[in-house]
Amino acid sequence: MRIAVIGAGLSGLSFAHASRPFADIQLFEKSRGVGGRLATRRAADHEFDHGAQFFTCRAKSLESLLKDDDFQSAVSEWQPKLVTLAPDSETFKRTWFEPHYVGVPSMTAFPKRLAGDLAISYSTQVQEISRCGQDWQLKDKSGAELGMFDWVVSAMPAPQVGMLFGTKFSEHRSVTEAQLSPCFALMVALRDRPRLNFEAAVVRQSPISWLAINNSKPSRSEPLGLVVHSSNAWATAHIDEEPTVIESQLLDALHQLIDPDSLSIQEIHLQRWRYAKVEKAIGKAFLVDEKNRLAAVGDWCLGNRAEDAFVSGRALAEHLGITLNTS
C-alpha cells in the first residue's frame, strides 16, 4: 500500500510514524525541514523557536511515546518564570497547572526524532493530485510528476487542503468548516542578558500576546533571543501590511511593556504565520474518504494545540491500519 503524505508537520509525521508497519510511506514537504509550525529559525548566531512555544501532553498516545528511550532525549519540561503583562499595569506571576514540554536542543528536535528514517522529499510543494486509473498521480509546482500512490493523506492546514483536494474529496465541506487565524512572530536578537524579572509572559491589552526569552528553555545555548508573538486578532487586522511596518509597530508595543534601556537589540527578524491558530476545529479526529482513498489530518481537526495535531495523525493511522488490514 503506497501512501503519499503531504506535509511533514507534527500531524503528518505522527501519521507516517505510526503507519510504517502497514504502508509504504512517502512524505512531501514544501520547506527544507520537518516540523511545520513546531519550528526553529537560525539567524546569524541566534536561534528562535518562533512557532509553537511548548506543547502539552494529555493524550495517552503522546505520553507513552515521550517515555520511549528514542524520544526522551528530544523533549524536556520547560518551567519558565511566567507572568502576565499589560502596558502601564502591575505584573502578575502566573502558574501552569500541567507540564509544558519543549523539544531539546530546539523545538524541531521532537519532529526530527519522529521523522527518523522516513522517506521525505523536501522543498517539494505538491500542487496537483489527479487520477491515473486506480492510482493518484501527484505533481509539484513545475508540473513534475512525483509518483503514483494508492492513498493520499493531507497533513496541511485546512485552507491548503481545500485548495489541493477540492471537490475530489467527499469531505470537502467539513474542511471548509475549520477556521484558522494568523500570527506575526518577531525574533529579537539580543547582545546582553536583558534585565527582566520574568522569562515568559502572557500579554494583555496590546498587539502582543506572548513573549519569551528563548534561552530560558532547557539546553538552549547563548546568544540570547526574545520571541514576541502578536495577538491573532491584531495579525488578522494587519495581515497584508509591509513587514517593516509590522516590525516597527510590534517594537513600539514591546517598548510599552519593557523599558527599552533594558534590551540591547542587535537585530530583528519577522515571520508571518498565515495559518497559525485554529479558531474553529471540526470536532473529528480526521477526515477520510474511503471510496476515493483520500484523507486529511491536522490540528484543525481537534483543536489548536500541537498535541491535537499529533493525536489526529495517530488516529488516522490506527483507523487505516485496521481498515487496510481487513479489506
- The stretch near ligand FAD (CB under 6 A) out of 8-16, 129-137, 254-262, 279-287 is 8-16
When binding is defined by CB under 6 A, the residue of 4, 26, 65, 157 that contacts ligand FAD is: 157
Q: Does 31 bind ligand FAD (CB under 6 A)?
A: yes
- The stretch near ligand FAD (CB under 6 A) out of 129-137, 240-248, 259-267, 300-308 is 300-308
Q: Give the three cell numbers for residue 187.
A: 525574533
**Residue 228 near residue 85, CB atoms below 8 Å:** no
When binding is defined by CB under 6 A, the residue of 5, 18, 38, 257 that contacts ligand FAD is: 38
When binding is defined by CB under 6 A, the residue of 156, 180, 226, 235 that contacts ligand FAD is: 156
When binding is defined by CB under 6 A, the residue of 23, 52, 57, 288 that contacts ligand FAD is: 52
Question: For residue 305, what is the DSSP state?
Answer: S
Least gap, CB of 102 to ligand FAD (angstroms): 9
For CA atoms 153, 158, 159, 165, give the dihedral sign: positive
Q: Does 309 bind ligand FAD (CB under 6 A)?
A: yes
Q: Does 51 bind ligand FAD (CB under 6 A)?
A: yes
Q: Does 47 bind ligand FAD (CB under 6 A)?
A: no
Total Cβ atoms within 10 A of residue 78: 21
When binding is defined by CB under 6 A, the residue of 306, 311, 315, 317 that contacts ligand FAD is: 306
Q: How many helices (H) and strands (E) does the chain have?
A: 10, 20
Q: Does 41 bind ligand FAD (CB under 6 A)?
A: no
Q: Does 101 bind ligand FAD (CB under 6 A)?
A: no
Question: For residue 166, what is the DSSP state?
Answer: G
**Residue 278 near residue 205, CB atoms below 8 Å:** no
Q: Give the three cell numbers for residue 135.
A: 492510482
Q: At 59, phi and psi to the nearest 5? A: -80, 135
SS3 188: strand
Least gap, CB of 138 to ligand FAD (angstroms): 9
Total Cβ atoms within 10 A of residue 259: 10
The number of residues in the chain equals 327
Q: Which residues pair with 25 in a beta bridge?
A: 3
Q: Does 298 bind ligand FAD (CB under 6 A)?
A: yes
Binding mask 192-231 for ligand FAD (x = CB under 6 A): -------------------------------------x--
**Residue 50 near residue 122, CB atoms below 8 Å:** no
Q: Which residues pair with 200 in a beta bridge?
A: 82, 212
Binding positions for ligand FAD, rule: CB under 6 A: 6-12, 28-31, 36-38, 51-55, 125-126, 155-157, 160, 183, 185, 229, 273, 276, 298-299, 305-307, 309
